Amino acid sequence: AQSVTQLDSQVPVFEEAPVELRCNYSSSVSVYLFWYVQYPNQGLQLLLKYLSGSTLVESINGFEAEFNKSQTSFHLRKPSVHISDTAEYFCAVTEFNKLIFGAGTRLAVHP
């Protein structure tokens, strides 16, 4: 069975600093990978996804993630964060008709 490990439960960072949220998954077979974001008291929203093709995928608000098959990783990065990026971020991987989620990383952006 698939599993997803998000290596940091909390990441504090100052505004305009770069950030990386780490995600590793367990299987090396072909998978689809996702990052979801959850703002306080809201549901999850899709941030970006890797299905195939280019290993670097981007979101509309400046996040990017790189699929690394050899390291079974899908780390999320942003070169300069804003206060509004404060949220919880979940990495997920497909398993048949289901998604397997990591435990989440809480990103706290400070002024």
Residues at the interface with other proteins (CB under 8 A): 9, 32, 34, 36, 42-46, 49, 51, 90, 94, 97-99, 101-104
For 13, counting Cβ atoms within 10 Å of its Cβ (0-12 exposed, 13-18 middle, 19+ buried), the class is middle
Nearer Cβ to other proteins (9/68): 9
Considering the complex, what minimum distance in angstroms separates the CB of residue 2 from other proteins? 12
CA–CA distances in Å: residue 38 to residues 2, 104, 106: 22, 10, 9
Strand-pair category, 73-78 with 19-21: antiparallel
Nearer Cβ to other proteins (2/15): 2
Considering the complex, what minimum distance in angstroms separates the CB of residue 58 from other proteins? 16
